[in-house]
Amino acid sequence: MDIRAYLDTLELNDGQSLRKNCPSCRAKNTFTVLNDGGSIVYNCYKLDCTLSGAYHTNMTAQEIQLRLAKHKLSTPPEPETMVIPEYVVEPSPRETPLFYEYVTDWDIPSENLMYDVKDTRIVLPIYHSGRMIDANGRSLTGKQPKWFRYTGVADYYIVGKPENNTLIVVEDMVSAMIANQMVTNLSAMAILGTSLTLKHMAKIGEYSKVIVALDPDAAHKTLIFKKEIELWSGVETIALRLDDDIKYRVVSDINKLKEMV
Q: How far apart are CA 236 and CA 229, in angstroms?
A: 9
Pairing of strands 114-116, 121-128: antiparallel
What is the predicted pLDDT for the residue at 239? Answer: 96
Helix axes 219-233, 61-73, angle to 10 degrees: 80
What is the predicted pLDDT for the residue at 18? Answer: 81
What is the predicted pLDDT for the residue at 236? Answer: 93
Q: How far apart are CA 21 and CA 27, in angstroms?
A: 6
What is the predicted pLDDT for the residue at 58? Answer: 63
Q: How far apart are CA 87 and CA 251, in angstroms?
A: 38
What is the predicted pLDDT for the residue at 50? Answer: 83
What is the predicted pLDDT for the residue at 234? Answer: 81
Pairing of strands 88-89, 52-56: unpaired
What is the predicted pLDDT for the residue at 116? Answer: 97
Q: How far apart are CA 58 and CA 64, in angstroms?
A: 10
Using CB atoms within 10 Å of the CB of residue 27, give its burial: 0 to 12 exposed, 13 to 18 middle, 19+ buried: middle
What is the predicted pLDDT for the residue at 36? Answer: 73
What is the predicted pLDDT for the residue at 62? Answer: 62
What is the predicted pLDDT for the residue at 75? Answer: 62
Backbone φ/ψ region at 209: left (φ over 0), alpha (ψ -120 to 50), beta = beta
What is the predicted pLDDT for the residue at 48? Answer: 80
Asked if 57 and 42 touch (Cβ cutoff 8 Å), the reply is no
What is the predicted pLDDT for the residue at 70? Answer: 61
What is the predicted pLDDT for the residue at 140? Answer: 97
Beta bridge partners of 168: 188, 211
Chain CA centroid to CA 240, Å: 16
Q: How far apart are CA 165 and CA 185, in angstroms?
A: 8
What is the predicted pLDDT for the residue at 196? Answer: 85
Question: Is the pTM higher than 0.75?
Answer: no
The per-residue pLDDT string of the chain (261 residues; one tens digit each, 9 = 90 and over) reads: 788 888 888 877 776 778 889 999 988 888 888 877 677 888 887 778 888 887 776 666 666 666 666 655 566 678 899 999 999 999 998 889 999 999 999 999 999 999 999 999 999 999 998 999 999 999 999 988 999 999 999 999 999 999 999 999 999 999 999 999 999 999 999 999 888 887 888 899 899 999 999 999 888 889 989 988 887 778 899 999 999 999 999 999 999 999 999
What is the predicted pLDDT for the residue at 250? Answer: 96
